[in-house]
Structure 1
Amino acid sequence: MKPLHQRLNLYYDDDQAYIFVPAGESVSAQSLTISRSTGDIFLNPPQTALPNTARRSGKPVYGILGIINLTLTEYIVIISGREHCGRLMGQEIYRASDFEILPLNPSVNVLNVQHPIEAHLLAILKSHLDSGVFLFSYGWDMTRRLQVQWANHAEDAAKALWEVADDRFFWNKYLQTRLIEASVKQDLSSYILPVIYGTFDIRPITLHGTHMQLCLISRRSRYRAGTRYFRRGIDEKGHVANFNESEQILLVESQGTTRGDDFAHKLSFVQIRGSVPLYWAEINTLRYKPDLQIMEKQNSTETMKTHLSAQVATYGSQTLVNLVNHKGYEKPIKQGYEDHVNKLNLPQVRYQYFDFHTECKNMRWDRISVLIDLLKDDIKEKGYFHIHMDGSQPLKMQKGVVRTNCMDNLDRTNVVQAALAKYTLNDQLQQLGVLTKEQGVDDFESLSRDFREMWANHADSISTAYAGSGALKSDFTRTNKRTRKGLLEDGVKSVLRYLKNNYFDGARQDGFDLITGNWTPSSNPSAALSLVTDSRSIILRAMPAVASFSFFMICAGLTLPRTSDYSLTYYFLLWIVLFFVSLEVIVMHGIDFVAWPRLVPLTDVIYYNGPGYRSARHGMGVKMPIIGRTDAWFKSRRQKQRSKSVAIEKGDIALTNLGNKKRMD
């Protein structure tokens, strides 16, 4: 495979160009120049001397993440800091820890941008870079699982790393567009560094004198990427939200030998997760539970088929493990998923439902074994990848994967995937003779601890990227026990998720849309004024201030000297009334107080009024029509509101029936 430059020296040629010179390499290495006036990218002939006006940057450059165009100019994003994460297959794995943004336009200063639109977009870009987990290697393809790399190793030998990268997990593919396009006329492969957004952990293990390494990698898809409530379900191309591929790699040396990186046995087990492949959403309204919405579009079944067919083509046969609750709030998602899967009846897709919360209630988390028993035949049939260093052909190939989901594809999914990974690791170690048939991972404290920590950290990282906090139920993954302390920690995490999902995730979602190219800016900054302006009425904008000031005045009144109780009665009455009125206005218009993404607005989803299901229409003000609600929703709500008159109830149901009839017509 073509080599990548591992370190570059950056030179500024006044306001004319940026020049990247490979550091510590042979004189034949070609430097790269990016013109600041034209944006042209070109390789310099070997041994090209630097201009006399060039001055060297004091920061090291460990790679070019890419080039992004905002409203005023293009920017080069470089990796100026890296952390060593470990060594896999003889290659070093790094995490990008620091970045620098270089404007092409000499008049733009990234530290003090005068234009508000440009400043806003740069802030979004910086926030995404600072909060993400970006992993890369100069010699190992982080985007592809071990089995795929082996299957294509012969044809990949003459290609560059970016040319063989899995397009789904090539996180900075959009940023690298300009360099890739320039490679048509000149080979810039040594400067194009693929980066993944995910996790990486590798640990040495010794059992019975056998030296091993256990590695866990997760890769996050750049398609339909985003945050918990702002990216749900599926899109028109069959991509689902929060799609992650998790690969557990086991490297085993021959017993009694030490071969360094040259392991005798290499094994890989892959699982995937992704949002339920329906058109659905959860609409934030400031309530703890958002409004659940399922959109029945004409192509819903066909889009799910596109998604599942793509997974079968990529991984082989699929076992769909659904952990969504069978009753209550989540029930419509379960029913919709099952209905479409049954309608499709795809030959290489098997559906398996597991009622996680019912089976594991009262902290009986050992009941996960029930699901493992249900999946044993599937796991055995699909297998795992296993190759021996002395053989030209693999001993085993993984012929399919288990696709697991809950509502968020986080907490319940993490527990189940860790359990499946442990079951497979037990089988692998037993097949290799490292463990006997009676032994398992949990019989060896050091191995068990490393395994649990790896999967718990893996779960926390995926959860933080999607939901804004560490994973719930991670105490079970870390300790093999569900504890009351873990329940308390989950409560804190749930509150943290609520705050972030309602008040901060809009900007985070904008970061995902910007970095993956889901939104491209106009060259006219004035066309994007909506990004920095507040379109709400003055009254609505004033409500949080009124509530805060009223609460302050109530607290102040409790400490004021009293000339008489009568004199404070009207004082408290005024501020208490203002406080509760302002809160009621905020709750009634809750959607207007959520920090929604602005680059790709969700207006069509929020105000969707077509066929489907919606649990409620909270937070939309007093003028929102109710035609979109369903009979099932009304019946369940009316059971909780028996105090209302029968006449009103009949009128509401009649109106709903009328709406359903119109949709059917």
Structure 2
Amino acid sequence: MSKHNLMFHPIISSIQRIALYETKARFYLIGSNNTETRFRVLKIDRTDPKELILVDDKVEYNKQEIHQLLNMIGFGNRSGRNAGFNKLVSAFGIVGFIRFLEGYYIILVTKRRKIAVIGSHSIYKIEDTSIIYIPSDVSKPQHPDEQRYLKMFQAVDLSTNFYYSYSYDITHTLQMNMAPPRQLAPVLFPKPVTAAVYESLRSGDNTQKQCICERNDDDEDIFETWKKQLQQREEKTGQPSQKLDIGMRTVPEWRFVWNSHLLSAVHSHLHPDWILYIVHGFIVQSNLNIFGRPVYLTLIARRSNRYAGTRFLKRGANMHGDVANEVETEQIVHDSMLSSFKSGRFSAFVQMRGSIPSYWSQDVSKMVPKPAISIDLSDPFAEIPGKHLNNLMRRYGSPIMFVNLVKKREKKKHESLLSDVISNAIKYLNQFLPPEHAVQYIHLDMARMNKGADGMVLDKLTAIAGNVVRRTGMFLSQGAYCETGGAPGHQAGRLQTGLARVNCVDCLDRTNTAQFAIGKCVLAHQLHALGFIGEPVIEFDSDCVRLLEGLYEDHGDTLALQYGGSQLVHRIKTYRKTAPWASHGNDIMQTLSRYYSNTFSDAEKQNSMNLFLGLFVPDPQQPPIWDYPSDYYLHHPEAMVYIPNHRCVTHSET
């Protein structure tokens, strides 16, 4: 087998169980693998009221050595004014560390649920977390805003649609995870590009809080004394001392790591076994049985942390071309007869949704169901769409299939303003692209077409989906049977190159139906390429399509709740004309629920998200987040220190 065919699957973490012990002066985190045969120790100082002081020796221990350590710490804390040693909590991983106006907190995963497998790798949903204040001295009065910030931070409910894996990088696509190792980094690679760091680059602001990760020369430090004894024992017995295994690992896709800000203070200092990358969005897996052969069908939706927010408060794009409501959705089919990741039979397809990349907004100060759309800033040279599309081409290749579902003709211009902006921008940008890499702009006015009684919406979407699959291909693993799967020139169908990028105004209801239509077409090609069916065609009334429709309905409902505060209003069945009247009452209730959420709770949700992602870092010398009339400058910091970029946006970047 050539080196290009070798499978590389990164080991993200081996610590699956954590016991947190406390003394008056320190926290001890004892981490172990699932079988409790390999252990690591993390010590956190509790005496400093403000700074995060921790020690990670990056050495692996066995069970006997850990028992010795715990016994020694317990014995040393039986008497004296700092007496007391007890187990505080059991956990499954560290989400990260956060500080508001006082000391640091540690956030731990205390409950998890296995919800999917990718080959031999397990994916977990966070079911519950615990946030624990680190400093032991709580006698002095707290800052009056500390508890309000804590409550605001906890409003981002980590038990709702947050996921992680110990051994599979869910921030990347399956195609990326199964690719040969090309861009690898050492274990101790630099700190993450967090939302805060990402935004601070614009002004050279490098004042982010860091932890102090160094050893203390403390004669009474039991931990250090025990380590010296362990080393002396190894020297006497002649056993080789344990050394840090540097190894290699991939860098995650930071735009999908929602705890990047929570890891930023410690990421460069901790052994990777402690690090978990948390993804926000939606993951579901179901079983299919096709002619007696078991198949896993998996949907993974990764929500971007760039320009993230609620439905009306985040529209369009920021100055980097990051769009609101960006979600990458991956559809994976796995022949479950083979559980191996390396030699398993997989097929995957990626599509995304995101707001129209332009400077536009809606005025939510007036309580109306459809606030007026306004184009806030002229962009005659399509700089923002150019940055956005350039980013997509870097990540996914070409062609980019831009599927716009917004209205085109209206008596009074509303949605059509957006169609005009993006169609003109793509037409302008395509002048500077070679024809084979040109952005393909596809427009479908779903709302107008759905007014007819013949239900032609899905037929039209199916035709678009077929064009998408032919142009981009799909991923097939090396072990997959492939005779006609994928487009010519895509390594016999093994790679997807390019992307279908779908949007309506909200990127919720119409978008979800279009993504289902693409997913249905792709599923037929996936099952055909894997040898399950003879032709790449599946009917709407088949069991597998009904299952897929249910998965995309759940996918759409979950994302709609995250962005809009309610489930889908117009569902797939609405456009299929299978149950329009039965769903009409439900549509009205969901519209009212979404309207209430947008009017009364979105501002608080947005503040919580800005705090969680580190876009706003509390400072006692500055006003609190709730006193700011808008978060515009948090998401558009260049507006305050903007230096014009004189480079022509139509020049290619190397």
Kindly report which structure 2 residues correspond to 1:395-544, keeping only aligned pairs within 5 A, or say none.
395-437=493-535, 440-445=538-543, 447-474=544-571, 476=573, 481-524=578-621, 527-529=622-624, 531=626
Q: What is the match of residue 94 of structure 1?
A: 124
Residue 376 of structure 1, CA deviation: 2.8
Residue 444 of structure 1, CA deviation: 2.8
Counterpart-to-counterpart distance in 1, 2:259 and 2:455? 39
Counterpart-to-counterpart distance in 1, 2:254 and 2:179? 17
Question: CA 1:389–1:63 in structure 2 vs 1: closer, same or farther (change >3 Å)?
Answer: same
- Correspondence for 1:173 among 233, 242, 260: 260
Q: Could you say what secondary structure the match of 2:563 adopts?
A: helix
- In 2, are the aligned partners of 1:519 and 1:600 still within 8 Å (CA)? no
- Correspondence for 1:39 among 52, 66, 79: 52
Question: CA 1:7–1:264 in structure 2 vs 1: closer, same or farther (change >3 Å)?
Answer: closer
Give the partner amino acid of 2:167.
G
Q: Could you say what secondary structure the match of 1:321 adopts?
A: strand
Q: Deviations over 1:7-41 (max 9, x none)?
A: 10001121x22211024666762200121224212
Residue 108 of structure 1, CA deviation: 4.7
- Correspondence for 2:466 among 369, 376, 388: 376
- Correspondence for 2:440 among 350, 364, 370: 350
Residue 130 of structure 1, CA deviation: 4.6
Give the partner amino acid of 2:39.
A
Q: What is the match of residue 138 of structure 1?
A: 166
Query: Is 1:216–2:313 an aligned residue pair?
Result: no
Residue 366 of structure 1, CA deviation: 3.9
Counterpart-to-counterpart distance in 1, 2:379 and 2:135? 47
Q: Could you say what secondary structure the match of 2:169 adopts?
A: coil
Counterpart-to-counterpart distance in 2, 1:358 and 1:270? 28
Q: What is the match of residue 26 of structure 2?
A: 17
Kindly report which structure 2 residues correspond to 1:198-277, keeping only aligned pairs within 5 A, or say none.
198-252=281-335, 258-261=337-340, 264-277=344-357
Counterpart-to-counterpart distance in 2, 1:390 and 1:208? 18
Q: What is the match of residue 640 of structure 1?
A: none
Q: Which runs of 5+ in 1 are unaligned?
A: 536-595, 606-665
Q: What is the match of residue 296 of structure 1?
A: 377
Query: Is 1:85–2:115 an aligned residue pair?
Result: yes
Question: CA 1:481–1:488 in structure 2 vs 1: closer, same or farther (change >3 Å)?
Answer: same
Q: What is the match of residue 404 of structure 2?
A: 322
- Higher mean alpha-carbon deviation, 449-458 vs 151-160, is at 151-160
Q: What is the match of residue 157 of structure 2?
A: 129
Q: Deviations over 1:357-403 (max 9, x none)?
A: 11121464442212332453332021100124279987421011110
The CA RMSD measured in Å over matched residues stands at 3.1
Question: CA 1:298–1:149 in structure 2 vs 1: closer, same or farther (change >3 Å)?
Answer: same
Q: Deviations over 1:219-238 (max 9, x none)?
A: 01110111001111110111
Q: Could you say what secondary structure the match of 1:306 adopts?
A: helix
- In 1, are the aligned partners of 2:299 and 2:331 still within 8 Å (CA)? yes
Question: CA 1:76–1:58 in structure 2 vs 1: closer, same or farther (change >3 Å)?
Answer: closer
Q: What is the match of residue 230 of structure 2?
A: none
Residue 602 of structure 1, CA deviation: 9.0
- Correspondence for 2:93 among 48, 54, 63: 63
- In 2, are the aligned partners of 1:519 and 1:599 still within 8 Å (CA)? no
Q: Deviations over 1:521-549 (max 9, x none)?
A: 1144xx33562x6x9xxxxxxxxxxxxxx
Q: Deviations over 1:125-144 (max 9, x none)?
A: 11103564110111111111
Question: CA 1:95–1:28 in structure 2 vs 1: closer, same or farther (change >3 Å)?
Answer: closer
- In 2, are the aligned partners of 1:226 and 1:242 still within 8 Å (CA)? yes
- Correspondence for 1:280 among 357, 360, 367: 360
Counterpart-to-counterpart distance in 1, 2:625 and 2:31? 43
Q: Could you say what secondary structure the match of 1:377 adopts?
A: helix
- In 1, are the aligned partners of 2:335 and 2:344 still within 8 Å (CA)? yes
Counterpart-to-counterpart distance in 2, 1:126 and 1:116? 17
Query: Is 1:337–2:419 an aligned residue pair?
Result: no
Q: Deviations over 1:464-515 (max 9, x none)?
A: 1111111122251898724212122111111111111110011111111111
**Structure 1 vs Structure 2: percent identity of aligned residues?**
25
Q: Which has a greater percent of helix?
A: 1
Q: Could you say what secondary structure the match of 1:342 adopts?
A: helix
Counterpart-to-counterpart distance in 2, 1:338 and 1:478? 25
| Structure with the greater alpha carbon radius of gyration | 1
Give the partner amino acid of 1:177.
S
Question: CA 1:260–1:432 in structure 2 vs 1: closer, same or farther (change >3 Å)?
Answer: closer
Counterpart-to-counterpart distance in 2, 1:341 and 1:479? 30
Question: CA 1:480–1:176 in structure 2 vs 1: closer, same or farther (change >3 Å)?
Answer: farther
Q: Deviations over 1:241-268 (max 9, x none)?
A: 0101000001125xxxx43456752100
Q: Deviations over 1:134-189 (max 9, x none)?
A: 10111111111111111145765975898521111111111111121324xxxx21
- In 1, are the aligned partners of 2:475 and 2:494 still within 8 Å (CA)? yes
Counterpart-to-counterpart distance in 2, 1:464 and 1:162? 34
Counterpart-to-counterpart distance in 1, 2:86 and 2:249? 28
Residue 275 of structure 1, CA deviation: 0.5
- In 1, are the aligned partners of 2:461 and 2:517 still within 8 Å (CA)? no
- In 2, are the aligned partners of 1:9 and 1:21 still within 8 Å (CA)? yes
Question: CA 1:319–1:108 in structure 2 vs 1: closer, same or farther (change >3 Å)?
Answer: farther
Give the partner amino acid of 1:332.
L
- In 2, are the aligned partners of 1:113 and 1:119 still within 8 Å (CA)? no
Question: CA 1:443–1:333 in structure 2 vs 1: closer, same or farther (change >3 Å)?
Answer: closer
Residue 443 of structure 1, CA deviation: 4.8
Counterpart-to-counterpart distance in 1, 2:105 and 2:536? 59
Give the partner amino acid of 2:121.
Q
Give the partner amino acid of 2:527.
L
Q: Which runs of 5+ in 2 are unaligned?
A: 1-9, 78-83, 188-246, 483-490, 639-654
Give the partner amino acid of 2:421.
G
Question: CA 1:374–1:189 in structure 2 vs 1: closer, same or farther (change >3 Å)?
Answer: closer
Counterpart-to-counterpart distance in 2, 1:197 and 1:251? 23
Q: What is the TM-score normalised by the length of structure 1? A: 0.74
Counterpart-to-counterpart distance in 2, 1:341 and 1:324? 15
Counterpart-to-counterpart distance in 1, 2:577 and 2:607? 37
Q: What is the match of residue 560 of structure 1?
A: none
Counterpart-to-counterpart distance in 2, 1:363 and 1:106? 68
Residue 107 of structure 1, CA deviation: 4.2
Q: What is the match of residue 30 of structure 1?
A: 40
Residue 217 of structure 1, CA deviation: 0.5
Counterpart-to-counterpart distance in 2, 1:419 and 1:478? 11
Counterpart-to-counterpart distance in 1, 2:250 and 2:145? 35
Residue 439 of structure 1, CA deviation: 5.0
Counterpart-to-counterpart distance in 2, 1:598 and 1:494? 26
Q: Could you say what secondary structure the match of 1:174 adopts?
A: helix
Counterpart-to-counterpart distance in 2, 1:69 and 1:82? 25
- In 1, are the aligned partners of 2:481 and 2:531 still within 8 Å (CA)? no
Give the partner amino acid of 2:145.
I
- In 2, are the aligned partners of 1:363 and 1:482 still within 8 Å (CA)? no
Counterpart-to-counterpart distance in 1, 2:249 and 2:278? 9
Give the partner amino acid of 1:320.
F
Q: What is the match of residue 236 of structure 2?
A: none
Give the partner amino acid of 2:338.
R
Q: What is the match of residue 635 of structure 1?
A: none
